[in-house]
């Protein structure tokens, strides 16, 4: 992991308990107080967009509180840690959500087009699409986050229904895998499912966890 050094310092005083409502309500647009850097926020550090994955506000003995965060660079996928102090401010990224349609993937590149304009195509690398991309089928609509007129994050639908194209037979009394087996889906992805699932079935997947939900 890397540590990020560039942050914005504020001359506005904060209460030592970390809860100064006036400072929060009167902050400049686009600027976040140290205790507003929370999960799901997207901030700018060193000119790069980072998603806040976790945040922990705590006090070290008699010292002022700090916010210890874990961040993910939305351009490179790299992870980082940073501790925000009471006097720190972070710039909130100006992002836009647009709908796009998935076309196909090839050699680590994922191709999409704008929702209502198939001629407007663009591609993203594996690191941007993430593991959930393996559940995408052609023409699936996704929400895409844009920063500085560049796509930086893909939100795959949380639930996807996919057909099982290959499944080992269900052998009576086979409990070696705890009643589960691994099947292949129409996208080529593999999935652990209950033993009763067979080829041709349609199953629902939670793309956030990569787990089987139910047979459709």
Band (pLDDT 50/70/90 cuts) for residue 111 is very high
What CA–CA distance (Å, rounded) separates 182 from 168? 8
Express the helix, strand and coil content of the chain in percent, nearest 5 each: 10, 50, 40
pLDDT at 174: 57
Same domain, 86 and 8: yes
pLDDT at 203: 98
Same domain, 144 and 130: yes
Same domain, 116 and 197: no
End-to-end Cα spacing for the chain: 41
> What b/e string do you get for 85-101 counting C-beta neighbours within 10 Å, with b at 16 or more?
ebbbbbebbeeeeeebb
Output the pTM of the full model: 0.69
pLDDT, average across residues 10-27: 37
Residue ending a domain, among 92, 118, 137, is 92
C-alpha of 44 from chain center: 16
Same domain, 29 and 102: no
pLDDT, average across residues 184-212: 96
Mean pLDDT estimate for the chain: 84
pLDDT at 18: 42
Residue ending a domain, among 74, 92, 110, is 92
In the block, which residue shows the tokens 């909130």?
Answer: 92
What CA–CA distance (Å, rounded) separates 94 from 5? 21
Per-residue pLDDT tens for 136-163? 999 999 999 999 888 988 999 999 999 9
pLDDT at 196: 92
In the block, which residue shows the tokens 């198939």?
Answer: 118
Judged against a pLDDT cut of 60, whether residue 195 lies above it is answered with yes
How large a percentage of the chain has pLDDT more than 90? 67
Report the CATH number that the domain containing residue 103 is assigned in CATH: 2.40.50.140
Tally of structural domains, the chain: 3
**Sequence-ordered list of residues with C-beta below 8 angstroms from that of 106, at least 6 positions apart, any chain:** none
Which structure tokens are listed for 53?
Answer: 């994955």
Residue ending a domain, among 103, 124, 155, is 155
Per-residue pLDDT tens for 45-99? 988 999 999 999 998 777 899 999 999 998 888 899 999 999 999 999 998 999 9
Range of the domain at 123: 95-155
Same domain, 56 and 22: yes
Same domain, 145 and 176: no
Report the CATH number that the domain containing residue 45 is assigned in CATH: 2.30.30.30
What CA–CA distance (Å, rounded) separates 16 from 177? 54
Judged against a pLDDT cut of 50, whether residue 182 lies above it is answered with yes
């Amino acid at each position: 992991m890397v540590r990020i050094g560039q942050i914005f310092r504020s001359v506005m005083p904060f209460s030592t308990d970390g809860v100064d409502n006036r400072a929060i309500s009167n902050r400049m647009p686009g600027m976040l107080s140290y205790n507003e850097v929370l999960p799901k926020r997207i901030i700018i550090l060193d000119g790069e967009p980072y998603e806040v994955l976790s945040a922990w506000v705590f006090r070290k003995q008699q010292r002022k509180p700090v916010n210890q965060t874990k961040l993910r660079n939305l351009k490179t996928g790299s992870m980082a840690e940073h501790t925000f102090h009471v006097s720190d401010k972070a710039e909130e990224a100006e992002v836009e959500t647009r709908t796009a349609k998935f076309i196909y993937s090839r050699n680590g590149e994922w191709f999409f087009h704008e929702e209502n304009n198939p001629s407007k195509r663009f591609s993203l690398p594996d690191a941007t699409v993430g593991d959930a991309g393996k559940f995408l089928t052609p023409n699936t609509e996704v929400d895409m986050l844009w920063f500085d007129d560049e796509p930086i994050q893909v939100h795959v639908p949380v639930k996807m229904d996919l057909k099982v194209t290959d499944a080992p037979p269900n052998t009576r009394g086979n409990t070696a895998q705890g009643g589960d087996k691994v099947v292949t889906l129409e996208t080529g992805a593999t999935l652990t499912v209950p033993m009763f699932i067979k080829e041709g079935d349609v199953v629902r997947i939670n793309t956030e966890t990569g787990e089987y939900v139910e047979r459709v």
